[in-house]
Amino acid sequence: MKNRGIVVQDTEIGIASRHEQDCISLTDMVKRFGDENILYGWPRNRNTVEFLGIWEQINNPAFKPVEFERFRGQAGLNSFSLSPKKWIEATGAIGLHARPGRGGGAYVPRALAQAPGRRLPGKFRAFPKG
């Protein structure tokens, strides 16, 4: 991944090129609003799991639909939790990418970044083109 960044509402957001597309740092997006609990709560939502799964089915021929259905059936339950790493390992997902260590975080393609952005306070919703 090659890194660069943009500034959205006075917040620096990392962009990394992966598989010839721009990926937005979800971790950077939520830093402005305190801790990363917003990011960890996002994939617990049933609509999020369905959104990620549909994106994968369209864009990833190696995506594992049986594992996706298992997550979709559990999503929204109080006992359900889903980390990026767990999602990627179980389903073979390519849309959500987790980078460990310093400078790491959760990255998604620009189209997928719009969904968690809508859950953030204020108007932290759109990313500039380019």
pLDDT of 125 > 50? The answer is no
Q: Residue 29: which domain range?
A: 2-118
Is the model more confident about 55 or about 129? Answer: 55
| Residue 129 lies inside a defined structural domain of this protein | no
Nearest partner of 52 among 31, 10, 44, 40, judged by Cα: 44
| Residue 90 lies inside a defined structural domain of this protein | yes
Averaged pLDDT for residues 17-39:
73
Torsion of CA 107, 47, 124, 92, to 10 degrees: 10
| Residue 96 lies inside a defined structural domain of this protein | yes
Per the structure, the count of domains in the chain is 1
pLDDT of 1 > 70? The answer is no
Q: How high is the pLDDT of residue 15?
A: 80
State the CB neighbour count (10 A cutoff) for residue 33: 16
| Residue 104 lies inside a defined structural domain of this protein | yes
Residue indicated by tokens 């609003």? 33
| Residue 41 lies inside a defined structural domain of this protein | yes
| Residue 51 lies inside a defined structural domain of this protein | yes
Q: DSSP assignment, residue 81? A: -
| Residue 128 lies inside a defined structural domain of this protein | no
Predicted TM-score (pTM) above 0.75:
no
| Residue 123 lies inside a defined structural domain of this protein | no
Torsion of CA 4, 87, 40, 33, to 10 degrees: 20
